[in-house]
Amino acid sequence: MAFSNENKLLGDNTTYRINPNIKKFTLRDLGFNTTNAGNFSYERFLDVNNPYGNGIKIKITFKADLSGFKMSIVTGNGMQKVNIFKDDQHQSDVDQVRFILNNLIEREVIAQA
């Protein structure tokens, strides 16, 4: 998946874009790690009861110059995308994703498009 100014998760109706007020230090404060390429990467398991398991996780990566980002919900090994919005089976995962994304919105990292 290529970096883009706007993204949405598989199965979600909401589109997110980069907030013009984004700052690199805010990404670091929120737990983003710097990759070897200088990008900012965030990966978290969605199961709040077992955060070290091999369940579904969210992956968000910002380009080093903050001009683009990509995000997805993937399996524990990161190899396949997962649609957690298709049924009520993953409601707790949906709630956790909304919590994470709302935190990014409040900290002016992303905004709803």
Question: Which pLDDT band holds residue 2 (cuts at 50, 70, 90)?
Answer: confident
Q: Which phi and psi angles does 53 have, rounded to 5°?
A: -80, -165
Residue 86 token pair: 């298709």
Least confident piece of the model among 2-6, 13-17, 87-91 = 87-91
Per-residue model confidence as pLDDT tens digits over 37-80: 999 999 999 987 775 667 899 999 999 999 999 999 999 888 89
Read off the pLDDT of each residue in 5-21 and give the average, rounded to a whole number.
Answer: 96
Please state the pTM of the whole predicted model: 0.93
9 class by beta-carbon count within 10 Å (0-12 exposed, 13-18 middle, 19+ buried):
buried
